[in-house]
Chain A
Amino acid sequence: MAEDKILIIMTSGPETPRRCATPFFFATLATAMDYEVTMFFTIDGTLLLKKGLADYVYPKEGGKSAGQFMREAIEAGVKMTACSASLELHDLKPEDLIPEAQIVGGATMWQMAEESKTVLTF
């Protein structure tokens, strides 16, 4: 059983690859400390949830892709949520996203923030 909840809000996307590893790394690390971790993707962050896209985003040349960082986080138990309005921003349909992503409204973000011990924004 996880002790406390953490929310990580991800606004960075494929246009800023260097900002696309640490948020996932920190999320995975928090699960290793027995936190219950949710990532909320909005603005450009949502694009990383588009099927296959994150596999072509390299935070460091020759290093792991953002997709690999994201999969490690998912395997560690990090819950991925996407802001419904940001799908519209990028003309994405729910079926365009990876199956692990749950689409939620902005109010759900506020609720998750309220329930979380810590909220980080990237």
Chain B
Amino acid sequence: MAIIRGCNLPEDLYYYAEKHLWLKPLGGNLFRVGLTPIAGKLAGGKLNAVTVRAKNIGAEVQQGKSVATLESSKYVGPVPAPITGIVKRGNEKLAADPNLVITDPYGEGWVVEIEATRWEEEKAALLTGPEGLAEYEKKLEAAGISCG
């Protein structure tokens, strides 16, 4: 576990820093995707809904395209796909408790699982490990973002 600018960012995950998302390899080409505490904070810290678009399940989404949406009284916005791939499933628990995304971002609050189809090309742009986190820290510093 690493705490960067007050944000818990585990070293063993991959990060799509542009949108503050994490990816966890589940074996094969399957990846679980969720929001970092930074994304949770930027979304206002309390959500009314997190919705995975049903149409996307089983379909291929391109990196950067919307796979889900976040709604709060202060914010509305997309959860873009951090990698290109087939959306295998969304987290059904979020329908009953969207705030799992905030309260348990790396556990019960994951958003979607994607089977990567262009991992080898796309992984270079993702941040991981101590070096990746150092780079992430620089980005957060430049943007003046911190958690807590």
Q: Which residues of A contact B (CB under 8 A)?
A: 25, 28-29, 32-34, 63-64, 72, 76
Contacts and interface: CB of A to CB of B under 8 A. Distances in A.
Of listed B65, B71, B76, residue having the most chain A CB within 10 A: B76
Contacts, number: 23
Contact of A33 (B69, B73, B74): B69
Contact of A29 (B65, B69, B73, B74): B69
Contacts of B66: 32-34
B77 interface: yes
Nearest to B75: A72
Contacts of B70: 32
A32 B76 contact: yes
B69 A25 contact: no
Contact of B76 (A25, A34, A63): A25
B76 A29 contact: yes
Contacts of B10: none
B77 A32 contact: yes
Contacts of A33: 53, 66, 69, 78
Interface in B42-94: 53, 65-66, 69-71, 73-74, 76-78
Contacts of B73: 63
Nearest to B71: A29
A52 B47 CA distance: 30
Contacts of A76: 77
B76 A72 contact: yes
A2 B102 CA distance: 29
Nearest to A1: B65
23 contacts: A25-B76, A28-B76, A28-B77, A29-B69, A29-B71, A29-B76, A32-B66, A32-B69, A32-B70, A32-B76, A32-B77, A32-B78, A33-B53, A33-B66, A33-B69, A33-B78, A34-B65, A34-B66, A34-B78, A63-B73, A64-B74, A72-B76, A76-B77
A28 B71 CA distance: 10
A88 to B, nearest CB: 34
